[in-house]
Amino acid sequence: MVNSAALKQEEALPAGMSLELSNVSHGFSLHGEVLPVLSQVSLNVQPGEFVALLGPSGCGKSTLLRLVAGLEPPTQGALIADGEAITGPDPSRVVVFQDPTLYPWRTIYDNVALGLEARGLLRTHKSRIDDALKLVGLENFHKAFPHQLSGGMAQRAALARALVNDPRLLILDEPLGKLDSLTRLTMQSEILDLWQRAGFTSLLVTHDIEEALFLATRVVVFSPRPARIVADIPVDRPYPRHRGDSYLADLRHKLLGLLGMDATW
Amino acid sequence: MSSSSATIDQTPELVSGVDKPQAANRIWVGGLVAAAAWAAAAFVTGFIPDDDDWGYSLQLAHLLAAAAVVLTLSGLFLPRLPVLYGRVRAKAAWLVVLALGLAVWELVTAKLGWLPRPFFVPPQALLEVYADEWRKLAECTYHSVLLLGSGYLLGAFAGFSVGVAVGWSRIAAYWGHPLLRFIGPLPATAWLPIAFFIFPSSWSASVFLIALATAIPVAILTWSGVSAVGSAYYDIARTLGASQRFLVLKVAVPASLPSVFVGLFMGMSASFAVLVVAEMMGVKAGLGWYLSWAQGWAAYANMYAALVVMALMCSSLVALLFRVRDHVLAWQKGLLRW
């Protein structure tokens, strides 16, 4: 679905962002008590890496992404992007959530235009909207409203809304979690394609081991809540990868073991 | 009516069910039945002698007969205009019942005099009022619409602003919430004596009361709409670099519009009530004033005539608001049905 002609028109994208998390801890106060969610997470991400964060459901991976996005400040520790502390949201770090959260009152085109509009770049960078829509194969859906799209198309539109801002870090919070399995596989390839071309750094939260191994250059495994890093495993395999690859199968076995699901192998 | 499946089979390109080749020979039976009913009403009015001396009996009979003629022609030829026919054909039952109702009304008032006078008047009395007093009624309608429009628009704007502020800002909520809870349930008409005392004219006092009656439901519904906007919408905009101003104007406000319109509808009903009371109590113009003035002179026909005009005015304004909503919330069409 990714249109390669559209990408050639794109101006050269800046390289990915580097990320440095040191001793990040976070908690929520619940009925007066502090519920720890993240515990002493330290992680370095090189520019252009594709890092998958893997862990049991509800362990706090998504909270980590919210901290990286700047939507919340951490209780403890430091988050540094390109040598500067993260103090708030920034359009260079864009999130794609599990739900596409398109604005139902805006057309697809206007949804994708959101970031440019918010930053007052609508006039000067208008062509980027068409490029982004082409990139995700939605060039014929400018005037459609979100409720008229299928789940996969809506998530593609959300992806276009992120890409139009030329992010240097793309934060993916289980973006394919609610899609059917075939659409999921197709979109995994599309995301990979976009990442390879644009060169941004990618941070993906998922609990699908196969997805992590198919996409990421590195898989970071978290413990149940409060999340700590249990393992940090490089996936040293060239792209395009094959799902049946025996090297990946071995890694999969290993990851299942780390997640305490060894018995199912 | 008979829908011919055979014709549709032969011409599959006509999906609408209105088959043009046959339409020329077809007649609208319902329209002809309605024509008969109107003719009967005309007959009752024109040929049965009046119980008393009523003006305009003949004119009413002519009007009813004219309706019968129009319906007869429609019954014969309307199927040739598929668009118009499609809209009108289902209304046949209403047209029949309307004519029969008029005939019965005519019988029990002007012809047989069964209903006590002067409280019950025949239809020709209303006709007489419209013929003699249409200028005055139009003037009153103009004054009512002007007063209502000024108060309603002012109140809608104020209520919307207060609602957004209370829904968005913590300080506004701290001060606004208790005030809204305390003053909100009080009917706007309770302020009437104070308003007429404080404001320089009864007109400005009435504008204030109508605005107040409108503003409170609009404020409450806007507030609840703004506070119900999912945080995910804000997260998205914030990560894309949105300012506070953008979050309010481009996220909170459009997301809360469906709820705002509920408030606007509630505010409109409230504003009608206040309008009539204000015009009856202090303002020396408008349909409410006309109503109480007619009652003072025991001119019951004028009262009924003004009531009909008032119903038309109110229902037209509600219909107008519906049109505005359908336009503004066109994106909702796929989500909600109305």
Does residue B288 contact residue B144 with C-beta atoms inside 8 Å?
yes
Do the Cβ atoms of A118 and B237 come within 8 Å? yes
pLDDT digits (tens, 9 = 90+) for A196-213: 988 899 999 988 899 999
Write out chain B residues lying below 8 Å of A95, CB-based: 235-236, 239
Name the minimum distance, in Å, from the CA of B229 to any CA of chain A: 11
Contact status of B15 with chain A (Cβ, < 8 Å): no
Contact status of B257 with chain A (Cβ, < 8 Å): yes
Is pLDDT above 70 for B44? Answer: yes
Q: Quick one: which of B150, B141, B105 has its CA closest to B124?
A: B105
Name the minimum distance, in Å, from the CA of A95 to any CA of chain B: 7
Question: B123-330 domain in CATH 1.10.3720.10?
Answer: yes
Do the Cβ atoms of B241 and A97 come within 8 Å? no
Residue to test with chain A: of B239, B246, B261, B335, most A Cβ within 10 A = B239
Does residue B210 contact residue A88 with C-beta atoms inside 8 Å?
no
Q: Which two tokens stand for residue B314?
A: 């109110």
Task: Considering only the beta carbons, identify the residue of A94, A105, A106 that sits closest to B239.
Answer: A94
Say what angle helices B253-281 and B287-296 make with each other, to 10 degrees: 30
How far, rounded to the nearest angstrom, does the alpha carbon of residue B152 sit from its chain's CA centroid?
A: 15
Do the Cβ atoms of B335 and A114 come within 8 Å? no
Query: CATH 1.10.3720.10 region(s) of chain B?
Result: 123-330
CA angle B79, B83, B86 (to 5 degrees): 65
pLDDT digits (tens, 9 = 90+) for A45-92: 999 999 999 988 778 888 899 999 999 999 989 998 988 889 989 989
Give the global pTM: 0.82
Contact status of A189 with chain B (Cβ, < 8 Å): no
Do the Cβ atoms of A118 and B240 come within 8 Å? yes
Q: Which two tokens stand for residue B95?
A: 């047209």
Do the Cβ atoms of A97 and B238 come within 8 Å? no
C-alpha A194/C-alpha A202 separation (Å) is 11
* pLDDT computed for residue B4 by the predictor: 41
For the segment(s) A16-101+167-264, the CATH number from 3.20.20.100, 3.20.20.70, 3.40.50.300, 3.40.630.30 is 3.40.50.300
Token pair 């609990």: residue? A207
Domain residue ranges of chain A, discontinuous segments joined by +: 16-101+167-264
Residue B17 three-state SS: coil
Strand (E) or helix (H) holding B157:
helix B123-168
C-alpha A162/C-alpha A118 separation (Å) is 13
Contact status of A145 with chain B (Cβ, < 8 Å): yes
pLDDT digits (tens, 9 = 90+) for A105-158: 999 999 999 999 999 888 888 898 998 898 888 989 988 999 888 888 999 999
Is pLDDT above 50 for B235? Answer: yes
Do the Cβ atoms of A71 and B246 come within 8 Å? no
Token pair 């990915």: residue? A16
Does residue B169 contact residue B228 with C-beta atoms inside 8 Å?
no
C-alpha B332/C-alpha A106 separation (Å) is 10
ipTM for the complex shown: 0.85
Do the Cβ atoms of A165 and B240 come within 8 Å? yes
Task: Considering only the beta carbons, identify the residue of A101, A147, A161 that sits closest to B335.
Answer: A147
pLDDT digits (tens, 9 = 90+) for B296-326: 999 999 999 999 999 999 999 999 999 999 8
Angstrom distances, CA of residue B302 to CA of B61, B124, B295, B310:
20, 12, 8, 12
Write out chain B residues lying below 8 Å of A165, CB-based: 240-241
CA angle B265, B266, B272 (to 5 degrees): 90
Token pair 């046949």: residue? B92
The answer for residues whose C-beta is within 8 angstroms of residue A195's C-beta and 6 or more apart is: A50, A170, A202, A215
